[in-house]
Amino acid sequence: MQTTASTIDQTVREDYLPGAGDFFALLKPRVMSLVVFTAFIGMIMAPGDIHPVIGFTAILCIAIGAGASGCLNMWYEADLDARMKRTAGRPIPSGRIDRQTALHFGVALSVGSVLLMGLMVNIVAGALLLMTILFYVVVYTIWLKRRTSMNIVIGGAAGAFPPMIAWAAVTGDISIAPIVLFGIIFMWTPPHFWSLSLFACKDYKAAGIPMLPVVSGEGETRKQILIYTFLMAAVSLLPWSMGFAGPIYGIVAAVMGAAFIWLSLALFVKKDNAAAKKVFFFSLFYLFILFAVMGGEAMIGRMI
């Protein structure tokens, strides 16, 4: 029998008082940390200066907005989370927090982060943050996630916006450079999540989520991972070729891109979970290194 949202509400533990750790878990802290990091690099690379207090406020708003999106995602997907081993221990399906509380918490954080960004930083950054939250919650979580295997491809845009928001916090507008940063993360998202979906395929199938390996098979998923890895590697070279990242970044991007392609090729040939896990974990390292080098070069350039 499938677990429904109403069943989850009925299983909330009445003898349990949720603590700060339970509410923090609703924010998807691991995802939030990556969002904050890429946003911080976007802020460093943006031309011009920003007051440290305003800059801190902008990063804080992005972090809260990302956490609010994760919270609302857990609120809406509580029934799915309850059917998956990977997510059954989250606060709502485990009965530590009820769905109504999670909804109120997520909405409050969303409204607060957008208002603070708009009032304390600038309207453009506030509008972009609002669009990001709505895109993740409405477009990805509510509309795409349960309906199409392209959920990650389209929905991945939500995770690619933070560098653009941070850039706008400094400059008050958007130029080609933050769009390229957006493009790198956008192309990175499908190989990252599809490799996860390969070794978590049974979970997604049990929950009825139409991830690519569930709908089109593992062979097609491996092929798509390889295609998007080539596209991602090409886009990752744009910061260097367009002149807003230096030669060190260009070399690192080329080497890391080649390594990513090699692992994706190995996954395409070997067809096992071990190869999928290698792609997944390397993808995290890959994005961190690319943005760290870009940010490092930008900081050194400001100091010289």
Mean pLDDT of all residues in the chain? 93
pLDDT at 6: 44
| 224, two tokens | 């798509």
Each domain of the chain, given as residue ranges in start order, spans 1-173, 175-304
pLDDT at 97: 95
Q: Give the model's confidence band at 304: pLDDT under 50 very low, under 70 low, under 90 confident, else very high.
A: confident
Per CATH, is 1-173 categorized as 3.40.50.920? no
Closest by Cα among 1, 27, 29 to 92: 27
CB 4 within 8 Å of CB 79: yes
pLDDT at 4: 46
Average pLDDT score over residue span 196-209:
92
Closest by Cα among 221, 192, 200, 199 to 287: 192
CB 291 within 8 Å of CB 182: no
Average pLDDT score over residue span 42-64:
96
Q: Give the model's confidence band at 3: pLDDT under 50 very low, under 70 low, under 90 confident, else very high.
A: very low
Average pLDDT score over residue span 85-105:
94
pLDDT at 1: 36
Beta strands in 50-175 (DSSP E): none
Residue 12: pLDDT over 70: no
pLDDT at 243: 93
Tell me how crowded residue 219 is: count the other CB atoms within 10 A of its CB. Answer: 11
pLDDT at 13: 63
pLDDT at 2: 43
Average pLDDT score over residue span 67-79:
96
pLDDT at 258: 98
CB 235 within 8 Å of CB 247: no
Top-confidence residue, 13 or 242: 242
Residue 266: pLDDT over 60: yes
**Tens digit of each residue's pLDDT (9 = 90 or more) over 130-171:** 999 999 999 999 999 999 999 999 988 999 999 999 999 999
**Percentage, residues of the chain above pLDDT 90:** 87
Angle between helices 176-199 and 29-45 (to 10 degrees): 160
Residue 259: pLDDT over 80: yes
Tell me how crowded residue 50 is: count the other CB atoms within 10 A of its CB. Answer: 17
